[in-house]
Amino acid sequence: MECEKLKDCPFYNDKMDIESGLGKLYKRRYCEGDKTQCARYTVLKELGARFVPLDLYPNMQKRAEEIISQNK
């Protein structure tokens, strides 16, 4: 299920400093696959776009949980 935030996501649009091979895997898994497992999407849905740090990678679920718990 493709993420509806693809157009605006800095991770998907290569605006984040990522390793190309690993970045492509993340994109396929999270952006074009299961968006509900994406740390960026999780924070966005819980708190809003302004709480999503630019350096938050899709696989950083633990950090996403910390951001959410600190801002609720």
Per the prediction, the chain carries an average pLDDT of: 89
**Comparing C-alpha atoms, which of 6, 58, 1 is closest to residue 34?**
1
Give the pLDDT of residue 29.
92
Which tokens hold the place of 52? 């999503």
Domain limits, the chain: 20-71
Which tokens hold the place of 3? 């993420």
Q: Can you tell me the distance from the alpha carbon of 54 to that of 49, in angstroms, rounded to the nearest whole number?
A: 10
Give the pLDDT of residue 72.
87
> Cα 57–38–24 angle (5° rounding)?
60
Q: What is the pTM of this model?
A: 0.86
Burial (CB < 10 A; 0-12, 13-18, 19+), residue 50, is exposed
Residues of the chain with pLDDT under 50: none
* Tokens 């999503």 sit on residue: 52
